[in-house]
Amino acid sequence: MISLLRHAVPAAVFLLVSALLPPPALAQGAPREIALTPAQKDIVHRVETYLNGITTLQSTFFQQSSTNEFAEGSLYLSRPGRMRIEYKPPNPVLIVATGDYLSYIDKDVKNVTHIPVADTPAAFLLDERISLDSKRVAFHEVAQENGAIFVTVAERADPFAGRLTLIFRTNPLSLRKWTVVDAQGIITDVVLTDPFYGGRIDPKLFDVPEFERARSGD
């Protein structure tokens, strides 16, 4: 499903996103999995239904990590299969996902790296059907409090790879933030600052710029 942070793709890709254990917990062992109560299963079902109802999303965002790195940018999502993440200068990174591949572009050096979407956290949002299946992910927190829902998951096949916390407003249900903890214990928060759902997005935004195409041999 999410192959959490298996490749060095910025955490904004993983949409999603904070009630997290401190970094040393990863070194001590895999986080504790919880058995979902009926009430928690209902929350997971609501979240899954909501995520599958997203057709398009446009938003500015900011992200900050526990290593004191900060970045801002714009996110465009058109489900299934297409996404664009463009960081504000001086950050030269542009990320474009279309179909089976995600292109990681450095505009300063005109270099591109193509990564199979299935091997990135982006697969979670870009799949035709988003699934929070307990056979594929382990749940570490499912809670609703103070007008927010928190869902923390890890990849069952590789629980040490990291974990992802999705944070939603409840009224109306709306994705507002996600947090990624990677295998080294680095925490990255991504906050959507003005999300707009369901609007038309210009398909050209998901084109890889020509110089990146030429440089990568496409």
Chain segment 61-104, per-residue pLDDT in tens: 999 999 999 999 999 999 999 999 999 999 999 999 998 889 99
Which residues have a Cβ under 8 Å from the Cβ of 190 and sit 6 or more positions away?
A: 11, 12, 14, 15, 16, 17, 61, 62, 63, 177, 178, 179, 180
**115 occurs within a structural domain:** yes
The range of the structural domain enclosing residue 81 comes to: 11-216
Number of domains in the chain: 1
**88 occurs within a structural domain:** yes
**24 occurs within a structural domain:** yes
Does the pTM exceed 0.75?
yes
Q: What CATH number is attached to the domain comprising 209?
A: 2.50.20.10
**66 occurs within a structural domain:** yes
Give percent above pLDDT 70 in the chain. Answer: 80
**E strand or H helix that includes residue 124:** helix 123-126
